[in-house]
Structure formats: C-alpha cells, structure tokens
Structure 1
Amino acid sequence: MDQEKITELLDREAIRDCLYRYCRGIDRADEAALRSAYWPDAHDNHGAYCGSAEGFIRSALVVFKTGPRNIHRITNVLIEFISQAEAAVESYFSAKQRGPDEDGEVRQMLLCGRYCDLFEKRQGQWRISERTVVYDWVEEQVPPAVPEAERFGRRQPIGAPRPVDAVYALAKHRIPPRHEAEVPSLGGDRRQGL
C-alpha cells in the first residue's frame, strides 16, 4: 500500500474520532471533548442555534448545568475528500435528549438526522470548520415518571457527566471491579436486560 493511501486511511480515522469526541462532549458534559471537535473559528447551524461554534459550545455549557441526559449515536459516516486539507462529511445521528425546558418541565425528544460537516486539517489535526444539522425525524416522547434509581435498579453504573462517568476511570485504569458477591442472583439467564 502506498503512502498516499495510508495517509487517507489515517485521515478517515481521525475524522471519525473527531465525530465521536463530539458525542462524548455532548453526552458526558465534557467541555474539553466538545471543544476538541471544532476549530475555534468554526460555524454551526444547529437547528434553533446558528452562529459561531463558540456560541454553540457556550449554550451547551448552560444546558449541561441542568443535568440533562443525552445519548448520541453516529452511523453511516461518508467522507469525501475535497483536497488534502478539506473533507465533506455526512454522518447520520440519532439522539435521545431529556432535560428541563425554560419552565423547568422535563421534556424528552428523539432526534434523527445528519451532520453535514466541512472538516479541515490544520497542523495535522482534523476538526469541524462548518456544521449544518439536517433533521430527518423529531419525536417528542413522554419522559419516564419512575426515578432513575428505580428504573435502572442493579444495572449499574449508569451514565453520568464528566468526571463521574466510568469512561473517565477507564482512561486511568481505575474502574472498580464488580465481584460476584455484590450481585444478587437474578435466577435464570444473567444476560437478561442487557
């Protein structure tokens, strides 16, 4: 395989990694991860928000303080190189978002669509320079009335913001082991509810 093809494969993987950092940033209320997905001068057309990526990040930081629960998934990533330093990237997303609205009432939404991004490679790094979010599906859902502790039960740990979430302990190799003695027998198949 020639060097040009190897560079292209590495670039594709760096772009995917950037998309995943964006999801971690939003879902785990991780400001550093979110900022690392955008160039400082980037522009974001994100539904109700249209402006600088910095403005979008600042608005996300306000939402983070409300303790929302977000889950983003990215699939069907199509990367088309415009040049060695630019790529047009379409990636499908599905996002479940739950949190309080302006009146403090908890809302839950299922959003599906596509991130249409212009990526730029600067100083060896790929990041978003322009983003347009295209919505293909929006569905307001009834949020669960049962508290999380009751709903999740023994399915622990549950997702949490940075630095509490288990992924941050993983990076430091400190996830506490779960011993069989700590998990009461459910009887039957232990894979139930996975």
Structure 2
Amino acid sequence: MNVDSLQALLDREAIRDCLYRYCRGIDRCDEAALRSAYWEDASDCHGAWNGSASGFIDQALARLRQGGRRVHQITNVLIELHGARAAVESNFFALQSTAARPDRETFLCGRYADRFERRAGEWRVAARTVVYDWIEERTRPEAAQDSAALFGLRQPVGCPAPMDTIYGLLGAVRAG
C-alpha cells in the first residue's frame, strides 16, 4: 500500500468519525460534539433551517433540551476525496419524539449531502444540505410512560450529556 492510499483511508475514517460525533451530539444534546462536527464558518440547510451551522446548533439545542427521545444512525457513507475537500453522501435514519408529545414519534430517513474540508489536518463539515427521502409520523400511547414504566428492567436509559452512560465510560477510559 502506498502513502497516498494510506492517507485516503485515514481521511475517510476521520470523516466517518466526524459524522458519528454529529449523531452523538444531536442525540445527547452534546454541544461540544455538535460544534466539533462543523467548521466555525459552516452552513447548514436542515429542513426549516437554512443558515449558519452555528445558528442551527443554537436553535436545535434550545428545542432538544426541552426533552424527548431521539436516535440518529448513519449508513451507506460514500466519500469522494479531492485533496483537502470531499463530497460526502451519508444516509440517515432518525426516530424522534418531543417532551410535549412523547406519544408522537417521527421517523425520518434521508441523506446528508456534505462538503467536508480538511483544515490543519482535521476534517469537518463546511456545508451541509439535508435531503429528506421518507417521513412517517405515528402515535404510540405507551411511549408517553415514564422511563421506568416504558423500559422496565432495560436500564440504563439514554439521556442528555453529561448524565448519559457513555460520558462516564469516556471519563474512566480517558483517566486510565
């Protein structure tokens, strides 16, 4: 394997890691993770939001911190590298509810069409357009129960940063 091939593999893995940080950030309301996925001057066209990525993060966190549940998963990541830029198409599945309507679920499928840029050796989103391919909304009365009743013995239950289990694990591993 030559040096260029190895660098391409490293670049692709760094881009995937950035995509996954975004998902953790949005699902756990982790502002640091969300901001680490975008360059400071990045743009985001995200449904009703079309503006700066920073503005998207601000309005999303204000809404998401009110409560509810959400899970984002990334699949089928296609990365086309062009030096310090990349065109990246990632399929996503998102299941969401709000604190106001915990019994109402929204299932979204679509694609993130991202322009990534490598700056000072780091890859982040410079411009994102969210393409929606599927939406399904349904009411599930049982989902309105509190976590203890809904999940029973299936504990722990996901929650916002920094209380979620993953942050305790990260702290312990980082501490050695």
Q: Relative to 1, partners in 2 of residues 1:158 and 1:105: Cα closer, same or farther, differing over 3 Å?
A: closer
Would you say 1:136 and 2:137 are equivalent positions?
no
Residue equivalent to 1:163: 162
Aligned residues: 170
Q: Which amino acid is 1:46 matched to?
A: H
Measure how far apart 1:114 and its partner are: 0.4
For residues 139 and 101 of structure 2, the distance between their equivalents in structure 1, rounded to whole angstroms, comes to 11
The answer to whether 1:4 aligns with 2:1 is no
Aligned to 2:124: 127
Aligned position for 1:38: 38
Q: Provide the C-alpha distance between the structure 2 equivalents of 1:12 and 1:65, rounded to a whole number of angstroms.
A: 32
CA distance in 1, matches of 2:162, 2:145: 25
Task: After superposition, give the CA deviation of every residue in 1:31-57 in whole Å (9 maximum; x if it has no partner).
Answer: 000000000111100011111101101
Taking the aligned partners of 2:89 and 2:4, their CA distance within structure 1 comes to 23
> For 1:81-160, what aligned pairs fall within 5 Å after superposition?
81=81, 83-100=82-99, 104-106=100-102, 107-143=104-140, 144-160=143-159
2:172 alignment counterpart: 173
Structure having the higher helix fraction is 2
Conserved? CA contact 2:29–2:161, under 8 Å:
yes
Report Cα offsets for 1:169-189 as digits up to 9, x if no partner: 111228xxxxxxxxxxxxxxx
Q: Secondary structure at the match of 1:66?
A: coil
Secondary structure, aligned partner of 2:20: helix
Task: State the 1:60 CA deviation.
Answer: 1.3
Query: Which structure 2 residues correspond to residues 12-23 of structure 1 after superposition, within 5 A?
Result: 12-23=12-23
Q: Which protein has the larger Cα radius of gyration, Structure 1 or Structure 2?
A: 1
C-alpha deviation, 1:137, in angstroms:
0.4
Question: Which runs of no fewer than 5 residues in structure 2 stay unpaired?
Answer: none
Q: For residues 145 and 26 of structure 2, what CA distance do their matches in structure 1 show?
A: 24
Which amino acid counterpart does residue 72 of structure 1 have in structure 2? H
SS at match of 1:99: coil
Q: What stretches of structure 1 move > 4 A for 4+ residues in a row? A: none
How much identity, in percent, do the aligned residues show?
A: 58
Unaligned residue ranges in structure 1 (runs of 5+): 175-194
